[in-house]
Amino acid sequence: MTDKAKYAHKEAFCLMWYACQCGHRERIWNSRDGVTPFAMQCPSCGSSGMTHIAWGSDECVPSYTPQAGQRAWVSMTRERAAEIADARIASAVAAGYVGVVNRDAVVDSIYHDGEAPDLVVWGAT
């Protein structure tokens, strides 16, 4: 049985390549047995077109320790979901979208009972 066969998700504990049309490429580790986004924002150019590429090169390495500064997918915490929700609500208010917002519902929609991924820089405080 391969490591990948042991887990509920194909990308569990995998090192995965992501690339953007601007030329930025990086290998991101999924630190959990959970799904990861196919696309995300590129840290170099800011576009939302940085995508998971070379799926056949995904490498399942459950004991991997990322290098300081390397990005990794981790499980979302409720505290982090609240930070994201507050930023989204503030941005909407600043853009003139004023209305009744159920903050807890926004937090819940981001948190997904801890199943949602969060992208962190390893070793950052």
Report pLDDT digits (tens) over 42-55.
999 999 999 999 99
User: Which among 92, 112, 108, 109 is positioned nearest to 100, based on CA atoms?
Assistant: 92
Structure confidence by residue, pLDDT tens digits, 52-87? 999 999 999 999 999 999 999 999 999 999 999 999
pTM comes to: 0.85
Record the tokens describing residue 116, joined without a space.
């949602």
The answer to whether residue 17 scores a pLDDT higher than 90 is: yes
pLDDT at 1: 45
The answer to whether residue 124 scores a pLDDT higher than 90 is: no
